[in-house]
Amino acid sequence: MFNQLKTIILLGALTGILLWIGSFWGQTGLTIAIIFAVLMNFGSYFWSDKIVLSMYKAQPADKHKYHELHQMVTSLAREGNIPKPQVYIVPSENPNAFATGRDPKHGVVAVTTGIMSLLSQEELKGVLAHEISHIKNRDILIQTVAATIAGVISYIATMAQWAALFGGFGGRDDEGGQGIIELLVLIILTPLLATLIQLAISRSREFMADQGGAKLMHSGKYLASALQKLEKGSAQHPMRQGNPSSAHMFIINPFKGGLMNLFMTHPPVSERVKKLEAI
């Protein structure tokens, strides 16, 4: 419940920032910002699954070759009371998994070849339960909306920067220092704040998916064990393809390197394991 409320508050904050930025250009600016958000959300909502599956060269999992994998997904989907998601295989040594699809009826679960050779069956089922929980909670849609709004904010801030350089920024107050201060906040602080809020939403949904996965498994120990293995395995075999901007979709950040916890798309594994072991 806390994470749900936190997500609502953070999405509200993101929307508020977007509306505040739009108000710099009056009704026209606000309308343009909203149109941008709607159009980008529409595209993301309907085609994000195809884009990400193509990006990672994912292929449908053969039902005979990956019979046990399909059985696990079927069992967990039934337990979660959602339609069985499509199952895909990503050819990568990086041990990982992700879920995509615009709603439970169009859900997709993808696992790498690396994760299937690293985890035990119960650990793999714990990971799949986490991804099923993402689909059930419609996290793909929520994170897509958050990423889209944050992207629009960054885009408008960049437009304001160029407009200011060429003297085309009107703002609400062209006289005195207040207009300059607001412009600096718009250009520098709002994109950073939007990104931090987007990442906070992503981390909050990961905690929720961990809890949901543990509930489906009736235990948190298998997912906790899997996360510890995946953290080490991902560091040894980082993802060689794809785009770091999609890191939030995976159960563990698949890419090498990273900044401080403030800029991470995932909560620290130690925190996730601690919460899972307490269930």
Tens-binned pLDDT, residue by residue, of the chain (279 aa): 555 566 567 667 667 776 676 666 556 666 776 676 667 666 766 777 888 899 999 999 999 999 999 999 999 999 999 999 999 999 999 999 999 987 899 999 999 999 999 999 999 999 999 999 999 998 877 776 676 677 667 666 666 666 666 655 555 554 444 456 666 666 677 777 777 777 788 888 899 999 999 999 999 999 999 999 999 999 999 998 887 778 888 999 998 755 544 567 789 999 999 999 998
Instruction: Tell me how far apart the alpha carbons of residues 217 and 57 are, in angstroms, rounded to a whole number.
Output: 29
Q: Tell me if residue 112 falls in helix, strand or coil.
A: strand
Strand partners, 88: 60, 110
Of 40, 2, 37, residue with least CA distance to 16 = 37
Strand partners, 89: 59, 111
Q: What pLDDT score was predicted for residue 176?
A: 47
Distance CA 247, CA 239 (A): 10
Provide CB contacts within 8 A for 191, sequence distance 6+.
150, 153, 154, 157, 158
Strands, DSSP E only, in the chain? 59-60, 86-90, 97-100, 108-112
Which amino acids are annotated catalytic?
131
Tokens (6 digits) for 74: 């079927």
Mark residue 138 as left, alpha or beta (left: phi above 0; alpha: psi -120 to 50; beta: remaining): left
Contacts by 167-171 with C-beta closer than 8 Å and gap 24+? 170/24, 170/25, 171/24
Phi-psi region at 171: left, alpha or beta (left = phi > 0; alpha = psi -120 to 50): left
The domain total for the chain is 1
3-state secondary structure of 60: strand
Domain that holds residue 45: 2-277
Contacts of 274 (CB under 8 A, 6+ apart): none
Whole-angstrom distance, CA of residue 60 vs CA of residue 29: 44
Task: Find how far residue 252's CA is from the centre of its chain.
Answer: 11
Integer Cα distance of 151 and 17 in angstroms = 12
β pairing state of 108-112 and 86-90: parallel
What does the pLDDT read at residue 166? 60
Question: In degrees rounded to 5, what are phi and psi of residue 136?
Answer: -60, -40
Instruction: Answer whether 214's CB lies under 8 Å from 220's CB.
Output: yes
- The amino acid that residue 216 corresponds to is L
Residues whose CB falls within 8 Å of the CB of residue 136, separated by 6 or more in sequence, listed in order: 80, 81, 82, 104, 212
